[in-house]
A = this chain, B = another copy of it.
Amino acid sequence: MRITVSRKAHFNAAHRLHNPRFSKEKNEAIFGKCNNGNYHGHNYDLEVFVSGEVDEETGYLIDLKVLSDIIKEQIEERFDHKNLNLDVPEFKDVMPSTENFAFIIHRILSEHLDPNFSIQVKLWETPRNAAIYPAIQ
């Protein structure tokens, strides 16, 4: 009996989108207001999907208390109230776009969860914009 459970989490952070290999003009043309050198910020909403087999004895795929603790320790504590560009080594050479952020969260969670599970993350940068990794189709 293969099933998926999902768990939501929340944190906030500052960032800017700026590629040092682009000129000032190209950065402004591509990233617009997101290029502001003084940073802007977001409340990020995260939904983590974990798929696998249910344990018959507990009725659990995974204890959601365990999953939420892993999300708290590995994701919320790492990113909450941080400046993604300045405070977070994962974004040293990576653009802190929603797409890359979803990919990095997926990689971190994969390292801390049973490899038999399939993991997918959906990360909302605003209530209207989100990224999902891996792709849904």
With contacts A58-B30, A103-B3 known, is A38 near B14, CB below 8 A?
A: yes
A-side interface size class: 35 or more
The answer to whether A51 and B137 have CB atoms under 8 Å apart is yes
Smallest CB gap from A65: residue in B: B32
**Which of chain B's residues have a CB closer than 8 A to the CB of A134?**
2-3, 137
The answer to whether B81 and A36 have CB atoms under 8 Å apart is yes
Q: Output the least CB separation between A42 and chain B (Å).
A: 5
The answer to whether A59 and B97 have CB atoms under 8 Å apart is yes
For the complex formed by this chain, how many copies does it contain in all?
6
- At the interface, is chain A mostly helix, strand, loop or mixed? mixed
- Let me know if A17 is at the binding interface, CB within 8 A: yes
Could you list 17 further interchain pairs (A-B, Cβ under 8 angstroms) beyond the known A2-B134, A12-B41, A41-B42? Answer: A3-B99, A3-B133, A4-B137, A5-B130, A7-B129, A8-B129, A10-B126, A12-B40, A13-B41, A19-B58, A21-B57, A30-B63, A42-B42, A51-B136, A58-B95, A59-B96, A60-B97
24 contacts between A and B (CB under 8 A): A2-B134, A3-B102, A3-B103, A3-B134, A4-B132, A4-B133, A5-B98, A7-B129, A10-B126, A12-B126, A13-B41, A14-B38, A19-B57, A30-B58, A33-B80, A33-B81, A36-B82, A38-B39, A38-B86, A39-B41, A39-B83, A59-B99, A64-B129, A68-B128
